Amino acid sequence: MKKPYIIFCLFVAISFGTSCVDAKIDDTEVKLVTAEEMQSILELEDVQLVDVRTPLEHDEIRIANSQNIDYMSPTFDEDINKLDKNKPVILYCKSGGRSAKCAKKLKDAGFKKIYDLQGGISKWKHSDKIKIEVKS
């Protein structure tokens, strides 16, 4: 009778003691958003809207009020560290590849709230949900 009780107590003690060891608290999640969701976030929150494409791509077509931080730039890591880690960030690129990589870097750098425009600007450039600026 005592043996199962002792084993149970040891199991609980070991489980409790090791469950918190090396546990990293990280509740940051990168959320993929549609253009409509992005527009709602822009209206409701003080957000940093970041285009991670090249300056040439950004000049040709961009979402209104976005800032350009080129993912391919040698100064990219320095540039993202100028952003406010406590303010939400919405990222976008052409199709979603660069912004996904950038989102991981932001998460690793300690940013609290990260959104990534699903499918990039290519998917939404003809949408009436977001304001697109095109070079004429």
| Active-site residue, from 9, 20, 93, 102 | 93
> How many angstroms separate the CA atoms of 19 and 1, rounded?
28
Q: Is 7 exposed, middle or buried (0-12, 13-18, 19+ CB in 10 A)?
A: exposed
Tell me, yes or no, if 93 is annotated catalytic: yes
- Give the type of residue at 82: K
Catalytic positions, written as ranges: 93
